[in-house]
A and B are shown apart, each in its own frame.
Chain A
């Protein structure tokens, strides 16, 4: 029966080529636009470390003075050196890491290779285990290295290929700013997107190539990047960053159970109160403890333009569908006579309904295929844009499936009303008017 309906549908569609083309084209455009923008949105709003993002939290404190104080205002987005170190040393979470970003001059040992700058992350020992960073060779450093201001470095696979030809470089020497560092680890592919742990240095795109202990960074006075907010008389003078009244570090903590989260929140309040009593904090306790995804959400990492494009594309799809519904309705109603004959010859309402739904399904399928093509084309265009997320815009299996479900679902939905209206036709009335 289905084959017969399909045959009928194809005949009917062939009869009005221009109209069929218009309907397929409209559905394809709508689906193509929606899928392109939705894929970009999906990629950008994804979970950077699936599986463990639920246990990662970003504490915020308010160490500022009374100037410009407004109750209820958000605390600063980063922490001071003193608070960061205090939270780190408190060891209240399963793991915790304090960090900042920067750029370091790398001086390759090979002659013929010019010195170059690499993005660097200065952090503490738990960073690698907490963020489940995969290692190709070697391992991260330990808390002892942190305390000793050890000259050790972890580099990415990319940098390892550039400097050491991809061979196991652990134990080799890396010269940074005229200082010899021992390579102790090489990362495997690791590109968390968004660059969640420090949103100051761009939300997407390439992460850093060199990882160094935070204490070593301060000891050697390496270059720092990212934002710094100061208050009072404190300036961001490089020599006194440890005591400056400035927030410039990111602090992350791993908390494995809801109980631990509640306890940590209480700890932050108690800590603020204690610092207030000591006279360091002047404002009443004002803390936040956002999970990783909440932190991304709060910072609106997905660019506004991308969200706008998603809404625009779905508005566009809606118009295309309304257009298709209208055309299909007119088309089916036009065939009232033919349908009346079929009904009179014994076809049930259900049969007629199925037949018409097959016809709209064919349009949906064709539109969906066209839309998939357009989405691939659209994503190709996005990849050739200069934005930092360009390279990420690819269709994954989940989005591919979504495309098809959306396309067929949308056009079946679009066919539902016209088909239902058309099978309300009373056969006798139609036959009489012939």
Chain B
């Protein structure tokens, strides 16, 4: 197969508009598909982030007490926990102000110097009890859990920093880069008392799934404090296979214990799988949308190449016949169209690469986006060239079957 590029270029000059349009379509498709794939990967990576908890067999309750005495909730919460822990199928339960992926929580600056003007980092505060580590299924990698006698009940409006705290490893490493966080003290409630780190858990995500929390995503503090107030959450760990039944039993039992409460129909009692689903719904929706757009775009571009090449083949039957009559083999003709498409494709991807990078730079300044990795562009280039070759194959094969006799016929 001996293909000369010179005649192909000469022929393309006679189809300037068509050639330009295909090249432009390839360029645009490359620019959009590269960036869309990049967004898909970013979103999927976000969705796959672990919370640090054992998420199966975990049930969440968002509770709000109403009526008199709702704000001095200590006896109410204690009664609820006693109820929850004795329901058959429940392994453990804890009362906590928030939990990963819930969407709302408490964040504070963490610092080692009480007089520092600026905190080292932001961290989320989980007001928990001695059952929290077990219920959430956190992995304690250093130190110990809270003891029951360390738990205090405090008013959310005037919380005092506790003497002991448990932190996530990410936070420990951020505040103490030397790796020795256990037993050291930090200041977490603005400028109040120092708190000693008595335990480190392997991982614990903040309650937020949005991009604003990305820079302190795993910076969490567990405090041995129970907040009194009308609003609070419970986490319930169930025995395997009991979750579905407990989704109905738990609200019924809680209502039986105390009717003066509001458990919302939609978010009152949920399995953690539902919490995760809700937290990342928009990210997954966006990834799905981008995938559909990419597939359709590639399909349309391929179809466009098929259509345009078919026309060109039809238009040049006479010339193809002449070439065949003059001794060109079938594979020469096939090679001619494949090479022609490759040349147009190459022009397209060169422009497309520049456009992809430009589009990404523009998106970095206008949206919360990162710089596009060139791997995506490289994969996109190869994919588009292959799709082009694949699309041109059918019309090119048809062209190669044109018989030399056609040279003598008028169209």
- Measuring CB to CB, which residues of chain A are less than 8 angstroms from any residue of chain B? 19, 22, 26, 29, 33, 67-68, 105, 107, 114-117, 178, 223, 235-239, 304-305, 307-309, 312, 315-316, 318-320, 322-323, 325-327, 329-331, 333-334, 337, 385-387, 417-418, 421, 434
Contacts and interface: CB of A to CB of B under 8 A. Distances in A.
B163 interface: no
Contacts, number: 121
**Interface core residue of B18, B260, B368 (most chain A CB under 10 Å):** B18
B21 A325 contact: yes
B311 A330 contact: yes
A114 B262 contact: yes
Contact of B25 (A178, A239, A326, A329): A326
B289 A117 contact: no
A178 B68 contact: yes
Given A116-B262, A308-B367, A387 B67 contact: no
Contact of A105 (B29, B70, B117): B70
Contact of A327 (B296, B307, B410): B307
A323 B281 contact: no
A126 to B, nearest CB: 31
Interface stretch (B121-129, B238-246, B298-306, B377-385): B298-306
B67 A105 contact: yes
B36 A117 contact: no
B363 to A, nearest CB: 8
B367 A319 contact: no
A317 B273 CA distance: 37
A329 B18 contact: yes
A117 B262 contact: yes
Given A115-B260, A308-B286, A334-B315, 19 more contacts: A22-B307, A115-B67, A115-B262, A116-B66, A117-B64, A235-B158, A305-B282, A305-B286, A309-B289, A316-B32, A316-B297, A323-B303, A323-B304, A325-B21, A326-B25, A334-B314, A386-B281, A387-B282, A421-B17
Interface residues of B, number: 52
B278 interface: yes
Contacts of A236: 157
Nearest to B289: A309
Contacts of B21: 322, 325-326, 329
Contacts of A67: 117
B157 A238 contact: yes
A248 B31 CA distance: 44
B242 to A, nearest CB: 27
Contacts of B301: 319, 323
Nearest to A308: B367
Contacts of B28: 315, 318-319, 322
Interface in B157-206: 157-158, 190
Contacts of B25: 319, 322-323, 326
Most B CB atoms within 10 A — which of A307, A315, A322? A322
Q: Interface of chain B, helix or strand or loop or mixed?
A: helix
B8 interface: no
Interface in B307-326: 307-308, 311-312, 314-315
The 8 A-B pairs with the shortest beta carbon distances in the complex, nearest first, are A330-B311, A326-B21, A323-B304, A115-B66, A105-B66, A322-B25, A319-B28, A238-B157
A338 B167 CA distance: 80
B307 A19 contact: yes
A434 B411 CA distance: 7
A374 to B, nearest CB: 11
Nearest to B359: A315
Most buried by A among B28, B67, B278, B315: B28
Contacts of A178: 67-68
B293 interface: yes
B367 A307 contact: yes
Interface string B12-35: 000001100110110011011000
A304 B367 contact: yes
Contacts of A325: 21
Contact of A304 (B29, B118, B290, B368): B368
A239 B262 CA distance: 25
14 contacts: A22-B300, A105-B230, A115-B260, A178-B67, A236-B157, A237-B158, A319-B300, A319-B301, A322-B21, A323-B25, A323-B304, A326-B304, A327-B304, A334-B314
Contact of B307 (A239, A315, A330): A330
A68 B117 contact: yes
B32 A319 contact: yes
Contacts of B290: 312
A244 B308 CA distance: 71
Contacts of B307: 19, 22, 326-327, 330
B18 A330 contact: yes
A434 B158 contact: no
B409 interface: no
A334 B311 contact: yes
B49 interface: no
A59 B21 CA distance: 52
A307 B21 CA distance: 27
Nearest to A305: B286
A326 B297 contact: no
Contact of A385 (B118, B285, B296, B314): B285
B262 A417 contact: no
